[in-house]
Amino acid sequence: MKSTPAQLGIWLTSLGVSLFTIAVMIRRGLIRRFWFQFLYICFNSGLGVVVWVLSNRLRPSAYTLVYWSGQGIILISSFVAVYYYWRTAFIRYRGLHRLCVVTMLATLAFELIVLFFTTSSVSGPGTIPTSFAVPNWLQAYFFLVQRSAMFVLAGLLWLFFGILALWRVETSRTLRNFALGMFVIALSYVVLDSWVYVYAMSSEIVYLRGMVGLFANSVWCYAVLTVRDEAAERTPLLTPVLSPEEVERRMQVINLALLRMTGSPEPK
């Protein structure tokens, strides 16, 4: 599917925002502090350029392989990014790290099993771009797998923000903004992939995906532009109603309970 001038303009603007974000992170020395987010933005920007260049030079069958390989790599890197947000925000609570991993694997496995036993080998009416020279039902299945995985990511990030808000855990405002951008991307994939599966790919879907990517990149750009020192950034998501000591005590109780549930050794 060839890009329209509007779609190309949105993509180039989004790429420009990403490159500007990378430059700001390098200029302000933020790479060590937010190293994985830096790598994530660099990798996805570079992959987007590669896929776009190849889309104009490869046969449809070859482009299909490139497209789905890129989507798979983005999906894996997105899961790692969500774990990075959890691990960084809850650095003192190893039990929450385990909760993230167990929830991620369990829910993803459950959704894939349900998908496997409930999806027909005959695809819906329109499903995926007809220019792709692979079986339509297989591409429909790929879209459903991608949608299920993004649903898991959106749920994990919702839980992430819920824990921050409920227990008033102090964490970096910039990290929360990074997670917000990822949440918008994951949620949009769930909605738009569902639409594609039922009604087929269209220029409007490509346009909306570009707009979502632009918005997420703008959130990340705003995050790095407003970074302050770590002490000033570590604020709770909502106004605390408990003392920091009481918050820490409650979080440690939850941390120990999660470590016991997952069979991990308790800290001494």
Write out the DSSP string of 197-266: HHH---HHHHHHHHHHHHHHHHHHHHHHHT---HHHHEE-SS--SS-HHHHHHHHHHHHHHHHHHTTPPP
| Residues 6 or more apart in contact with residue 46 via CB below 8 angstroms | none
CA-based Rg of the chain, rounded to a whole angstrom?
20
pLDDT of residue 41: 96
What does the pLDDT average to over 111-135? Answer: 57
What does the pLDDT average to over 196-215? Answer: 82
What does the pLDDT average to over 245-263? Answer: 78
Three-state SS at 172: strand
Rounded Cα distance, 26 and 35, in Å: 11
What does the pLDDT average to over 34-40? Answer: 94
Task: Give 30's DSSP letter.
Answer: -
Closest among 188, 184, 195, 194 to 209, alpha carbons compared: 188
- What are the distances in angstroms from CA 172 to CA 136, 182, 246? 44, 16, 20
Residue that wins the pLDDT comparison between 141 and 110: 110
Decide if pLDDT at 222 tops 60.
Answer: yes
When the pLDDT of each residue in the chain is averaged and rounded to a whole number, the result is: 82
What is the torsion angle, in degrees rounded to the nearest 10, for the CA atoms of residue 42, residue 184, residue 113 and residue 70? -30
Rounded Cα distance, 226 and 176, in Å: 12
Angle at alpha carbon of residue 42, lines to 39 and 48, rounded to 5°: 135
Helices (H) and strands (E) in the chain, counts: 9, 2
pLDDT of residue 232: 61
Decide if pLDDT at 44 tops 70.
Answer: yes
CB 82 within 8 A of CB 104: yes
Residue that wins the pLDDT comparison between 64 and 174: 174
Picking from 31-35, 80-84, 222-226, 251-255, which range would have the lowest pLDDT averaged per residue? 251-255
Three-state SS at 120: coil
Instruction: Give the confidence band of 27 by pLDDT, cuts at 50, 70, 90.
Output: very high
Rounded Cα distance, 18 and 42, in Å: 8
CB 178 within 8 A of CB 220: yes
pLDDT of residue 239: 57
Instruction: Give the confidence band of 130 by pLDDT, cuts at 50, 70, 90.
Output: very low
Rounded Cα distance, 87 and 100, in Å: 9
